[in-house]
Structure 1
Amino acid sequence: MKNRILALLLVLGGTGAVAPALAQPAAPTSVMLPAAAPASVGISPEALAQLDQVLQGYVADGRLPGVIALVARDGKVVYRKAFGYADAQAKIPLHPDAIERIASQTKAITSVGLMELYDQGRFQLDDPISKYLPAFAHPRVLASFNAKDTTFTTVPARSEITIRQLLTHTSGIGYAVIGSAEARAIYAKAHVPSGVGSPAGTLAPAIDALAHQPLMNQPGKRFTYGLSVDVLGRLIEVLSGQPLDQYLRAHVFEPLGMRDTYFYLPADRQSRLVPLYTEYQGRTVPMPTAGMLNLRPDFPNQAGTYFSGGGGLSSTIDDYAVFLQMMLNGGTYGGHRLLKPSTVDLMTQNQIGDVNQGLNKFGLGFSIVTPAGAAQTGQSVGSYEWGGAFGTDYWVDPKEHLVVLLYTQKFPHNNTPDLVPRFRKAVYAALARRQAAKY
């Protein structure tokens, strides 16, 4: 599903962005998962070495400037490596502690932050969002659209948008930069922020503007990837009385020791931000300073005030591994409980019924691997996953006790469509009891 979403993203023009010099790896500032020998957790070190060959190959042939990977089993890291360059032009090596834009991986973090409030009884999943954000009352659904002048007609929605529908992308809210041409045109006319690379402004007026736009479909009837989780970020602000960045720091990042995860990086971390790359005439080149949607590649280093709960965070592979391990542990890590085990179960089970989301289903913030999906990917049924537009991916496999992450910083990914499938296949080939499966 994510690959189809990424294929709809903007085409960026021009080349030649200037990236800041990157710092050498610093002493870890965040809590990290402990390391272990692969064999101690049932992983073949010889088979695991295949990951080196797979990832190094993409760097050697120029398709990726650099890539970072992490594999953990039973809460212990057995593979954590970086290949290639953080800055390919300056030949600065990439290090595993590099900070990268995680885009839509922000969604899972925002969803967890919201579900902490759910555990406190602050809302119910099937509450209408208009109960807390009145601008969403009496929603309307797009009926017709004139591409020539971007005018449209609407019909009344048959029901209010619920919080559950926002968590599952079945609200009918689209995206300002991906998805249908209708959504892009309507949101652009209304000056609805894209959620990524938009440092200026604040959530309150932006989400109010979004609330007055037509839905792309009737609530609950279709999976429409969009700004739903940005709405949930604003809901967190209303329920908690805190700006989203402060809330997530106090209730997610600090308890988990995620000290390198920010919407906008403090000065002492800005040099660790990896430059963003793109594809131009078959080559991998620096992302231009402004594309057709005025995306600034250096937006995490700005003094921003717009906190996109759907795509605004930057982080390290180590920070996000701890976050995912917390989920795998049933909502707790390092003596800090963020969620009830029953809430983690809710989040990682199908919450969209028969609604189509490709081969898989969707929970509350995560895509859930179905038997059909597992047959294609080799993951266990019930694994949960997602990723980000700039080339970051993750999955958690509860059956195999796995947390796996793969990070690059490049968009689009036309010349690396097989990267994640090959990496995933190599990971599962390394599991000792799966050695009969030939890589």
Structure 2
Amino acid sequence: MADQIEKVYEEAIKTRLLPGVSLIAGDKDGNIIYSKSFGRLSSKEDRDLPFTEDTVCAIASMTKLMTAVASLRAVEEKLLDLDTDTRPLLPEMGKYGIITGFDDDKGEGTFVPDSTPITLRMLLSHTSGHEYDWLHPLLGKWRASRNEIPYGGPTVEHKAVLPLTFKPGTGFAYGLGNDWAGKLIEVTSGLSLEDYMHSRIWKPLGIENDISFWPNTKESMRDRRADMSTLDANEQPPAVDGSFFDLSFGTKDCLGGGGLHASGKAYFTFLSAVMRRDPKLLTPESYTELFRPQLDEQCEQVLNDYIAQSPTHTNFLSHRIPASIRKTWSFAGLIAKEGQEGRFAKGTTFWAGVANTVWFIDHETGICGSTLCQLIPPLHPPILELHAQFQRQIFEEVRKR
């Protein structure tokens, strides 16, 4: 197993498709099955340091799983409720109503007012009507008409106060629900999301020195940060320095949808704890809710249609799972309703981060794994295929046992 994994990643490092990466996988008993890092943490010539399991990366949307866990902890503490309307706590949310069109001549959007309750359950399952503005053409035009950039601005409100794209609870769109969920935790707990996660998740797991929304303020993390790298305009190697690219687009808020920085070891410690349903984090009932499919039949069909909507949607959301495999959604992430031969079993949960970081939890097989690197373009297919091969090798090794 190790030889096959190392062969594909060493070739990627050699061709400079990938500057550096850290891989970790483990089983349901907390044992490490495989752990190895490759390459360098930077494409800069004057920063020739190895990429290790302690290298700190921007994990982008891999933050969403942690925000979901924090949200369920807040529900346990009776700070929040999954099915209560959250609009009174977040009065700016959804204030524009639903965008239905855009008049290019006037440079104006058309809207339908909407006051449908938006619940925490909807926010965590992407059924709230929110969608990332860079994924939806009408939202892109609306942003441009206001001289704003997609996902721009320093606060959650700047990024997430957008027109809705459908009536809450009736569809699926990948969007800013977890950012709003993080803001709900802050409003109801009186703590920053950083401090809430620190006390409820990071410190109990012993990873508090290896994960943060603000790594540059942490002496223990600052010098271990990987630099972003980028491929050329044709998305071809060699990778070069891309440290100019800011995944948070200038935020000053904790972004529950994508703002965390973590080492590979720290994130895997969290991932493994979640797979094993560690009682330090949540109750058994909350773990059941975390992994339970949240979509009704209508919303599940919208999800599958949404993934097939365009090559961009397929690349960002399918995790290289065949279209023939039906998918649904949990608070944790994407669920494959059937297994894929040689790669994962039925019910496996997945998600990723824009800089080509990926995690999976295969509940039936009893394995989980994460891969951390720092490369754009986002979710680049050749890199995702490397990570899928890593998953296959771990899956086959455990099945042999």
- Shorter-chain TM-score: which interval? 0.7 to 0.9
Identify which range, 273-282 or 135-144, moves more after superposition.
Answer: 135-144
Distance in structure 2 (CA, Å) of the matches to 1:183 and 1:226: 12
Tell me the equivalent position of 2:346: 381
Identify which range, 339-348 or 358-367, moves more after superposition.
Answer: 358-367
The letter for the 2-side match of 1:79 is Y
5 Å matches for 1:103-182?
103-136=60-93, 140-147=97-104, 150-157=107-114, 159-176=116-133, 178-182=134-138
Match of 1:349 among 292, 295, 301: 292
1:160-213 deviation line (CA, Å, top 9, x unaligned): 22211100011111114x311222333455688866xx7x7444x537xx44x3
Q: Is 1:318 matched up with 2:276? A: no
Match of 2:205 among 251, 256, 259: 256
Tell me the equivalent position of 2:8: 54
Q: Is 1:390 matched up with 2:355? A: yes
Provide the TM-score with structure 1 as the length reference: 0.77
Tell me the equivalent position of 2:183: 234
5+ residue gaps, structure 1, are 1-46, 435-439
Tell me the equivalent position of 1:75: 30
5 Å matches for 1:213-232?
213-232=162-181
Cα distance, 1:132–1:331 mapped onto 2, change above 3 Å: farther
Match of 1:339 among 282, 286, 289: 282
SS in 2 for 1:142: strand
Tell me the equivalent position of 2:226: 274
Cα distance, 1:375–1:248 mapped onto 2, change above 3 Å: same
Tell me the equivalent position of 1:400: 365
Q: Is 1:361 matched up with 2:325? A: no
Match of 2:192 among 243, 246, 257: 243
Distance in structure 2 (CA, Å) of the matches to 1:194 and 1:245: 24
Distance in structure 1 (CA, Å) of the matches to 2:95 and 2:42: 50
Deviation (angstroms), 1:250: 1.6
Q: Verify the 8 A CA contact 1:55 1:423 in the aligned structure 2.
A: no
The percent identity for this pair of structures is: 25
Deviation (angstroms), 1:285: 3.0
Q: Is 1:63 matched up with 2:6? A: no
Distance in structure 1 (CA, Å) of the matches to 2:354 and 2:184: 24
Deviation (angstroms), 1:58: 1.5
Q: Verify the 8 A CA contact 1:145 1:152 in the aligned structure 2.
A: yes
Cα distance, 1:193–1:378 mapped onto 2, change above 3 Å: same
Cα distance, 1:264–1:138 mapped onto 2, change above 3 Å: closer
Q: Verify the 8 A CA contact 1:48 1:430 in the aligned structure 2.
A: no
The letter for the 2-side match of 1:105 is M
Q: Verify the 8 A CA contact 1:140 1:156 in the aligned structure 2.
A: yes
Deviation (angstroms), 1:134: 2.7
Cα distance, 1:86–1:227 mapped onto 2, change above 3 Å: same
1:87-107 deviation line (CA, Å, top 9, x unaligned): 244343222211111000111
Distance in structure 2 (CA, Å) of the matches to 1:279 and 1:48: 27
Q: Verify the 8 A CA contact 2:356 2:383 in the aligned structure 1.
A: no
The letter for the 2-side match of 1:181 is P
Deviation (angstroms), 1:377: 7.0
Cα distance, 1:367–1:256 mapped onto 2, change above 3 Å: same
5+ residue gaps, structure 2, are 305-325
The letter for the 2-side match of 1:369 is A
1:91-139 deviation line (CA, Å, top 9, x unaligned): 4322221111100011111111111011122332121121322333776
Q: Is 1:423 matched up with 2:390? A: yes
Cα distance, 1:377–1:370 mapped onto 2, change above 3 Å: farther
Distance in structure 2 (CA, Å) of the matches to 1:284 and 1:167: 37
Q: Would you say how many aligned residue pairs link Structure 1 and Structure 2?
A: 367
1:275-322 deviation line (CA, Å, top 9, x unaligned): 1111104223335454xxxx437x79x9x7321111111101111111
Distance in structure 1 (CA, Å) of the matches to 2:273 and 2:347: 17
Q: Verify the 8 A CA contact 1:331 1:344 in the aligned structure 2.
A: no
Q: Verify the 8 A CA contact 1:360 1:370 in the aligned structure 2.
A: yes
The letter for the 2-side match of 1:307 is C
- Measured on the aligned residues, the alpha-carbon RMSD in Å equals 2.6
